[in-house]
């Protein structure tokens, strides 16, 4: 089971020995550097909480949480003052792709929400703009980019007193919730969506709140077939979070264009336009059993 262990003499060397793959080294500092930065912060009246991420007894990663601004930090971004900061997060190259980063994020946010340094409005973090994997992971937990930068890294912020939001790939265990919202898929098609990993579930305060599923238009362009949020969970940012997460996922797969559609008599068209989707025309089917209002097609270039 994934858990966080405070950095100590017993696990210091194990933390130092952890490292990311060579192509990720430009995105995250070594754990040695992180531990040195923690020492500097603590010696200048700051706060630092370094942890080893363990799967049972096996160290698989490292994370570090900060709070506020220490006496030695002269160029801190404005959001840093009085707020928590996910300073570092890494999973060792040998243990990536196993869900450890996502599991660790839940524990990290639980620790931050325990307010070890007192109350705060935000948790913030930063990453290289090219690090799409980090951007996708953090956005799935509700972090939203701001206009502020920490040197050459983009800053993203999570409002701590907002409902806890999380997005995961749909699994067979999500069947009951999925069919409570989606009346178009049958059992076989849902199972295929799970196998293909083309469906997502959003939870709000650990309660399933919405879903998104997609397919490929012309076998190449990701097309959002369905976005639905429970009526009592609407107007809380769930739809935007699902679309943003999906777009990040598609960009990480090398796609530079995504599409969706909605009926001309539905309000969703205005939502998609606010997200940057452009109208690409529409169609109706000339068959009585398929008659419905004009289906609008919308598309968005991923920057």
- Give the residue numbers spanning the domain of 207: 165-301
154 plus 238 within the same structural domain: no
Last residue of a domain, one of 159, 187, 210: 159
Q: What's the whole-model pTM score?
A: 0.72
At 39 the pLDDT is: 96
Angle at 299 between CA 235 and CA 257, to 5 degrees: 110
85 plus 171 within the same structural domain: no
What tokens does 101 get?
Answer: 């980063």
172 plus 143 within the same structural domain: no
Separation of alpha carbons 136 and 245, rounded Å: 6
151 plus 284 within the same structural domain: no
7 plus 149 within the same structural domain: yes
Separation of alpha carbons 37 and 291, rounded Å: 64
202 plus 66 within the same structural domain: no
Last residue of a domain, one of 159, 179, 194: 159
CATH number, residue 41: 3.40.630.30
Give, for all 303 residues of the chain, the pLDDT tens digit: 999 999 999 999 999 999 998 888 889 999 999 999 999 999 999 999 999 999 999 999 999 999 999 999 999 999 999 999 999 999 999 999 899 999 999 999 999 999 999 999 999 999 999 998 898 899 999 999 999 999 999 999 999 988 888 999 999 999 999 999 999 999 999 999 999 999 999 999 889 999 999 999 999 999 999 999 999 999 888 999 999 999 989 988 999 999 999 999 999 999 999 999 999 999 999 999 989 999 999 999 997
Reported residue count of the chain is: 303
99 plus 21 within the same structural domain: yes
Last residue of a domain, one of 137, 159, 181: 159
177 plus 155 within the same structural domain: no
Q: How many domains in the chain?
A: 2
CA dihedral 239, 244, 250, 256 (to 10 degrees): 120
Which of 196, 189, 134, 147 is closest to 169 using CA atoms?
Answer: 196
138 plus 286 within the same structural domain: no
At 196 the pLDDT is: 97
Distances (CA, A) of 177 to 31, 87, 106, 180, 303: 41, 35, 22, 5, 33
8 plus 132 within the same structural domain: yes
At 162 the pLDDT is: 82
């Amino acid at each position: 089971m994934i858990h966080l262990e405070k950095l100590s003499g017993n696990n210091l060397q194990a933390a130092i020995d952890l490292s990311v793959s060579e192509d990720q080294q430009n995105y995250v500092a070594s754990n040695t550097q992180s531990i040195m930065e923690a020492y500097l912060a603590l010696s200048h009246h700051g706060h630092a909480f370094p942890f080893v991420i363990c799967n049972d007894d096996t160290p698989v990663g490292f994370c570090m949480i900060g709070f506020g601004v220490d006496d030695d930090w002269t160029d801190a971004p404005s959001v840093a003052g009085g707020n928590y900061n996910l300073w570092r997060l890494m999973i060792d190259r040998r243990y990536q792709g196993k869900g450890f980063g996502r599991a660790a994020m839940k524990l990290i946010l639980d620790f931050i929400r325990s307010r070890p340094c007192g109350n705060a409005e935000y948790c913030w973090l930063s990453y290289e703009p090219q690090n799409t994997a980090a951007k996708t992971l953090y956005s799935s937990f509700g972090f939203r980019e701001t206009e502020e930068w920490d040197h050459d890294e983009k800053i993203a912020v999570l409002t701590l007193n907002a409902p806890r939001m999380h997005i995961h790939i749909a699994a067979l265990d999500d069947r009951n919730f999925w069919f409570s919202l989606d009346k178009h898929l049958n059992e076989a098609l849902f199972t295929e969506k799970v196998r293909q990993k083309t469906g997502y579930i959003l939870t709000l305060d650990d309660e399933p709140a919405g879903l998104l599923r997609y397919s490929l238009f012309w076998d190449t362009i990701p097309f959002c077939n369905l976005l639905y949020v429970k009526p009592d969970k609407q107007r809380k940012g769930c739809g935007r979070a699902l679309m943003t997460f999906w777009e990040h996922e598609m960009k990480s797969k090398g796609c530079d264009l995504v599409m969706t559609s909605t009926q001309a008599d539905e309000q969703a068209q205005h939502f998609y336009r606010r997200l940057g989707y452009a109208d690409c025309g529409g169609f109706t089917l000339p068959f009585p059993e398929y008659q419905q209002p004009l289906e609008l097609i919308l598309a968005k270039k991923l920057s």
